[in-house]
Amino acid sequence: MNGHPPANFSWGLLGIFLCAIIFRYVSRETLYFLEISIHELNHAIVAFFLGRKLRRLWISPFKSERGRVGEVTYRGGGSALITLAPYTLPLLTIPFFLSSKLIAPAV
């Protein structure tokens, strides 16, 4: 140890700081829309990589008459991987992980 906090600690503090700013200055509606967008994009990305032909990617800030705010439709049959994609594919984690490899010094 050289008297400095570990790099992971600094990144963690930065994450907490950014979250505090986002939750303070970005409206709940915008955050909800972004959450739904990421959720539906996860379905679409996995469906595409499994060879399904995407027919429709629909995201709305307002609920439809069926109570939905987003929907992905595709041809080629369903799959548990597509259904579970939003819960298993870390869509936002991947770019941050890759960028951290470019920013962080090699050990």
| Tens-digit pLDDT string for the chain (107 aa) | 565 656 567 777 888 888 889 888 988 888 888 888 999 999 999 999 999 999 999 988 777 777 778 889 999 888 899 999 988 888 777 777 777 667 666 55
Return the pLDDT at 53.
93
- CA dihedral in degrees (94, 96, 97, 102; nearest 10)? 130
**Distance between CA 82 and CA 52 in Å, rounded?**
10
**Distance between CA 71 and CA 57 in Å, rounded?**
6
- Give this prediction's pTM: 0.69
Return the pLDDT at 28.
84
Return the pLDDT at 7.
59
Is the CB of residue 18 less than 8 Å from the CB of residue 96? Answer: no
**76-81: which pairs have CB atoms within 8 A and are 24 or more residues apart?**
76/47, 76/50, 76/51, 76/52, 77/52, 79/46, 79/47, 79/50, 79/52, 81/46, 81/50
Is the CB of residue 40 less than 8 Å from the CB of residue 70? Answer: yes
| Residue 73 DSSP symbol | E
